[in-house]
Structures are given as C-alpha cells and as structure tokens.
A and B are shown apart, each in its own frame.
Chain A
Amino acid sequence: MVDYKISVEYTEWVVRQACAWTFQSADFPKVSLEEKSWVVSLASGFDEATIHLLERNLNEFRLREIIDVQTAGLRMKIVTHSLENTYKNIKG
C-alpha cells in the first residue's frame, strides 16, 4: 500500500468527494483518519497526474464547501423543501 496524506483541515466530505472525482471505482483507495491527516491508501500507488487531479479536486470541493457555508446551506434546503412540496402535491 502507498499512502498519500491530506491535512485534517479538509473535512471528510471534501476528502471523499475529491476521491470520488479522482479515482475509478475499480481502483478506489482506502480513506482513513490519523491524528493529523487523512490517509488515502492505494495498492498501485499514485502517479503525478493522479496527485495533481486529487489536489485540484480537494481545492474545488473546499470551495464548494465554502459556498455552502456562505449561503447557509441554502442549496440543500431548497432541494429538501422541493421534495417535501412534491410529496404533498402528489399525495394531494
């Protein structure tokens, strides 16, 4: 196993989303939490392009998380309310 360490300043959501958009399902890494870092472990190791993509995705999902915080979770609130409204409409 080859480990790649990510700062714990990134939340679990950011780390897992970044991994989801970086790796193929057939070669998905193990993600674990150590004292000061997230550890992404992959048997085949990480090439330079993969690390570049992972870091890019970490930054992008961190930004998405900031948008969610700045907008007080409004995106998901809208979806949740829409689902509730739809349920009411369909049930009559």
Chain B
Amino acid sequence: MKLHPFFFRQNRENNKIFISNQLGAWSFLQDEADLHTLIAAPSESSEIDRLQAKGFICGNDSRDLYERAAESKITHRFTRLRDKPSLIMVVPTLRCDHNCRYCQVSRAPLSSRVHDIQVSPQVVAKFIASAAAQKFKLEVQGGESLLALDFIYSLVSSLNKLQEKSFEVVLCTALGPAIDDTFTEWCREENVHLSVSFDGFLDLHSKFRIHSKKGDSATRFLEQRRKLEDAGLSENISYVATLTKEALERGPRAYIDSCLSVGIKRIYSRELSEYGFASITKSDLGYTLGHYINFMGLYLDELIAMYNNGEDFFDYTFSLYLTKLFSPDASSHMDTMSPAGYATSGFLLNYDGRVFGSDEARMLYESTKNERLTIGRLTNTEFKLEEDTFHRRLLAESFLETSSICSTCAYLPFCGLDPIATLNQQGDLTGFKKELSQCQLTIGMLDLITDRFESGKLTQEMVSSWT
C-alpha cells in the first residue's frame, strides 16, 4: 500500500481526526493512533477499502492516477478565472428608508440628492451585456432597491431588448417603499425574485431596523409582504436575517418558532458584518465568533431534530457549507472560492459609476474612499478601466493552495477567501489568515457539520434535501 498526500486536523467537537485530500474526499479516523498507523504503515490501517475508495491510499501501483485526477480537479477550479462573471450586482441608489444600526453598506439618507445612479439604464445594460457570462444573475442592491424602480424597469427592459444573454433578476429589499400593482405585475412577468431582509424576531426587527417614516418596521414588513402574497408572489420571496447578540441569546428554538409564526420556513441567517456602520455598532450589538458558532451548533441540532420529526424548516447558511463539503465543485458562492470570486465570478456597479470586484469592496470603499478599490468607472460615454496591479495582487493572494498558512489545512479543499476581508480586517493583502473571522468561522462550521455527519445525526438524506 502507498500513501497519497492528505490533510488532517483534530475535530474540536469530537476529538476524532478529520482527514481530507486534494480530490475533495474526506473521512474520519477514530484517534491519533489511527493517524500514525495510516502514515507509518498504510496497509495496517483499519477500513482500508474506505480509505482506498476515497483516494487516501492506493495499491502498490504508481500514484499517477491520483496525481492526474487531483491535478485535473484543481486546474478546473483555477481555470474558472477565464470565465466571465455570472453575478452582476447593481446599486442604483445608496438611499434607504430604513436606518439599520448594523447597516453594512453605509446607506445614505432618504433625502439625499447625490446617491442615485446617473448612468442611463441603456448604457448600464450594454455594459452588463458585454461583461457578463452568457447566463447571469442580476442582483439589485442598495440602499433600498425599491426606491429606484424606474431605473430597474428600464434596465431590465433594455437587457431584454438586447437579447444577448439570459438572466434572472433579484431585488434586495427591506420592503419599506410603497408597492403598487405595476410593481407586482412586473415581478410576475419577469419572474423577479425578492430577497427580503427580516431578522427572525419581529421585536428585534423593529428595534434594529428603524423605518424613517412609516412607523414600526416589522408591521410594515408584514403589511408589504401581504401585498406581495396577495399578488401571487409568495414563491418569489426569500428571507435574509442579520443575527444580533439578542437573537443569539434567545436561542435557536425561539428563533425558529418566531420565523414559523410569521410563515417563514426558509431563511438565510448571517452574522453581523465587519463593514460600514456595523463595524462601529458591533461592540454594542455583536458577539464573539465562539458564541456565534455555539449558537449555530445548537441551531443545526434543532434542524436535524425537526427533519426527523417531519417538520419543514431550514436555514440556507448551512447549505453553503454542506455544498462545499459534499459537492465542492458545485459551490458558486463567490466569497468562498480559491482563487477568490473577486471580479471574476461577479462584480458590482455602484450608483456613482464605480465598478468594484465584489459587494464587500464597495462596502469598504464607502467607509474609506480608497480609490485603489475601484476597478473602473462607467459614465454615459465610456467605461474607463483603472490600473489593475492592485486587483491582480488581490486575486494572486487568494490562491489558498499556495498560502503558507492555508496550504496544509484539512479544510483547504472546501475553503475560499474573500480578499477584501483580509484587507478590511488586517490592512494588507496577504494577511495572517488564521486570525481572519472567515477562517475561524469556516473551521468552526465545518467542525460542527462533519461531527454531526460522523456521529450519524446528520444523514445523507438530509444533505441531499438541503443542498
């Protein structure tokens, strides 16, 4: 028996040894003694068939097959760099009618006259058509996207007229602005998807998402959602929650019950951001990553118990990690790719015509005004590309396989980096990656999930259902 290269780490949840390899296969060894046996005398390992099937060891023939397979897999992933971006984010306005304490985009006041896009929708459509992949997602962000509906209608209409590429439309909204029949008909005609901010608990939603004019934001959310549902758009709505310290303290069961009480069975929950106003209010509203990961462990256990009881509820946050672990090649989440999806899987056109390599890059720009973050500028007459050395270096530093810190990590085959997070948290492009919150979060979440799978609590059936 011959050994193939592999990674290992002791899982913090169960103390067993997690092993993985460059094929993206993974397994558990029971203890350190098993690890030593695998390294020193592979033929004496228990469960040889399983280890061989997953590519950790081979017969006494050459290692060529493993080498070719791993090389092909990694080359395929790296070569994604030559593809055109498939996530196109547009910020038609930075104005917002909510004043969220944890706003990550540094929203502008509703009354502002300088935070709406000046480039015509026709020019934006041509720019997107030239830069995007054949099939792409148009994600309209803000500010509050519904404050710029005329622009959005024209943009989608212009893209349709160009008939060059197929695309789906997602509007990110907190549902503050008025919703009329024109809007709901348009959503139905274009099959527009609405990614709606809702923080799980009605009282916390009201407390932290303060509506500028229309009173209680949770009441507003429920009223507006009713209009969408009455217009037959229930299937087009998804929910995004930002978790504060108070939400975590109430625990996952209360969180789930609260979501179910307002008819939500699917939600995407995320931790407090490191950008914008959130970077200031985090000390007040935030928590440690350990606290968050502990909550997520209890949350996952609740989801597993609910699945076993036939209750329908799920959080897409877990899908991100499950997809990474069980189908590493299928994951297209641009914040968790190696090399990064920055400017290659997606880009963002800002209200001021600036083009950024990711949503996080524009968030960082709003609070720093550092022009190096700008990839280019679109005006009604031209698109001017900025000097690109900085952006090339950002991408170069995101190859985790060549990072001295990451290259031996057992979660490397399932990991990826948002290079702007490194810049934001540590002030340089290379960074000390093990201290990045993204690194600690990924390790914590993968420890949780692999532990539940190893113990048999999380089943293949659940994984198939949730990814």
Contacts and interface: CB of A to CB of B under 8 A. Distances in A.
Most buried by A among B3, B8, B78, B434: B78
Most buried by A among B8, B401, B405, B434: B401
B408 A89 contact: no
Given A24-B435, A81-B71, A82-B74, A74 B4 contact: yes
Interface in B406-441: 407-408, 432, 434-435
Nearest to A82: B74
B67 A74 contact: yes
B67 A78 contact: yes
Given A21-B434, A67-B6, A89 B82 contact: yes
Contacts of B251: none
B39 interface: yes
B63 A74 contact: yes
Contact of B75 (A24, A61, A89): A89
Interface residues of B, number: 30
Given A20-B404, A68-B5, A90 B435 contact: no
A44 interface: no
Contacts of A61: 408
B154 interface: no
B110 interface: no
Given A64-B408, A67-B3, A86-B81, A75 B39 contact: no
Contacts of B78: 82-83, 85-86
A20 B39 CA distance: 24
A15 B234 CA distance: 57
A67 B401 CA distance: 17
A75 B4 CA distance: 8
A53 to B, nearest CB: 12
Interface residues of A, number: 27
Main secondary structure, interface of A, reads helix
Given A20-B404, A20-B434, A90-B82, A82 B75 contact: yes
B39 A77 contact: no
Contacts of B70: 78
Contacts of A81: 71, 75
B79 interface: yes
Contacts of B6: 67
Interface in B46-80: 63, 66-67, 70-71, 74-75, 78-79
B130 interface: no
B79 A86 contact: yes
A79 B402 contact: yes
B446 to A, nearest CB: 17
Contacts of A77: 67
Given A71-B63, A90-B82, A25 B71 contact: no
B35 interface: yes
B401 A79 contact: yes
A90 B22 contact: no
A60 B35 CA distance: 10
A79 B70 CA distance: 9
Nearest to A87: B78
Contacts of B434: 20-21
A16 B155 CA distance: 54
A43 interface: no
Contacts of A64: 8, 408
B63 A78 contact: no
A25 B435 contact: yes
B408 A63 contact: no
Nearest to B401: A79
A60 B408 CA distance: 11
A50 B165 CA distance: 56
B75 A86 contact: yes
A78 B71 contact: yes
Contacts of A79: 74, 401-402, 407
A67 B57 CA distance: 12
A71 B402 contact: no
Given A71-B63, A82-B401, A85-B75, 16 more contacts: A17-B404, A20-B434, A25-B435, A60-B8, A61-B408, A63-B35, A67-B3, A74-B63, A74-B67, A78-B5, A78-B67, A82-B74, A82-B78, A85-B71, A89-B75, A90-B82
Give 5 closest A-B pairs by Cβ, nearest first: A75-B5, A82-B74, A86-B78, A85-B75, A25-B432
Interface of A: 17, 20-21, 24-25, 60-61, 63-64, 66-68, 70-71, 74-79, 81-83, 85-86, 89-90
